[in-house]
């Protein structure tokens, strides 16, 4: 047995873990970002914005806005995304995607900083409310020529001004809004109203077994590669 064997085994495990992670989709990356990003108080995030040294951090606090709007249930919202989807084969295709958003901030310790809500996309991690039916029930909202029997679903994601949230981004200064959290350093703006562990379970989409396998492959691969390299160094010294 030579040092090359554990190195090759480790590389194979790392590649297998990476390929499995790719199959989980963008949610896997958001989950990794949530797990790895340090949480700082609002005051510290404002300091980082003033310093101008880009750093990706998580900020926890209460959502607030002076321009909230109410939904059908009377909830004061600051963000709502409504997607109408049609069943296409084994998947769903979006035919209508509407976003409603007002300027809002995250507050804590008597301080607050703005959130660049226009940049929210895959980084929005909240409980999605869904309703399903057929195209015959909403003929005015589906493309012309759609089979009336086609399954449809409506998915609604929202953020309320009474929510507590965790927002991940790069603190910076906006000329009009002051300190603000934005995407940056190759990472998206992330906002979740869930506890981090719960948010990561939601992002895994019930594929807990797969995420455990991925973690084991990546961790085991790194250990194997490191062990092989140390072994090679020890042999060289000897």
Per-residue model confidence as pLDDT tens digits over 70-84: 988 899 999 999 999
| 149 touches 137 (CB < 8 A) | no
Residue 222 has pLDDT above 80, yes or no: no
| pTM (two decimals) | 0.76
Which residues are CB-contacts of 53 (< 8 A; sequence separation ≥ 6)?
none
4: Cα separation from own chain's centroid: 38
Q: Look at residue 16 and give its three-state secondary structure.
A: helix
Q: Tell me which H or E stretch contains 107.
A: strand 104-108
Residue 37 is given by DSSP the state S
**How does residue 195 score in pLDDT terms, banded at 50, 70 and 90?**
confident
Query: 121 vs 81, 183, 187, 194, 215, CA distance in Å?
Result: 10, 11, 12, 16, 26
Burial class (CB in 10 A: 0-12, 13-18, 19+), 229: middle
pLDDT at 39: 94
Name the burial class of residue 191, with classes exposed (0-12), middle (13-18) and buried (19+) by CB atoms within 10 angstroms of its CB.
buried
What percent of the chain lies above the pLDDT cut of 70? 87
**Distance between CA atoms of residues 51 and 43, nearest Å:** 13
Lowest mean pLDDT across 18-22, 67-71, 132-136, 173-177: 18-22
Q: What is the DSSP string of 140-184?
A: TTS-TT--TT-EEEEEEEEEETT-EEEEEEEEEEETTTEEEEE-B
CA separation for the pair 191, 172 (Å, rounded): 17
3-state SS assignment for residue 197: helix
Tell me the C-alpha distance between 57 and 109, whole Å: 17
């Amino acid at each position: 047995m030579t040092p090359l064997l554990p190195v090759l085994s480790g590389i194979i495990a790392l590649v297998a873990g990476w390929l499995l992670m790719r199959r989980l989709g963008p949610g896997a990356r958001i989950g990794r970002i949530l797990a790895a990003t340090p949480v700082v108080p609002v005051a510290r995030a404002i300091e980082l914005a003033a310093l101008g040294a880009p750093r990706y951090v998580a900020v926890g606090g209460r959502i607030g806005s002076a321009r909230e709007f109410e939904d059908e249930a009377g909830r004061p919202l600051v963000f709502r995304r409504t997607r109408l989807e049609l069943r296409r084969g084994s998947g769903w295709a979006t035919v209508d995607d509407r976003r409603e958003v007002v300027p809002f901030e995250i507050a804590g310790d008597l301080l607050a900083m703005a959130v660049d809500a226009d940049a929210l996309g895959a980084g929005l991690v909240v409980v999605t409310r869904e309703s399903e039916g057929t195209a015959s029930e909403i003929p005015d909202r589906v493309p012309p020529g759609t089979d009336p029997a086609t399954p449809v679903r409506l998915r609604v994601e929202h953020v309320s001004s009474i929510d507590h949230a965790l927002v991940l981004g790069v603190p910076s200064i906006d000329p009009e809004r002051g300190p603000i959290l934005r995407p940056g350093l190759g990472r998206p703006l992330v906002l979740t109203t869930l506890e981090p562990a719960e948010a990561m379970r939601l992002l895994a989409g019930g594929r807990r077994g797969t995420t455990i396998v991925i973690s084991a492959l990546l961790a085991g691969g790194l250990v194997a590669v490191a062990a092989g390299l140390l072994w090679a160094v020890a042999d060289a010294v000897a």
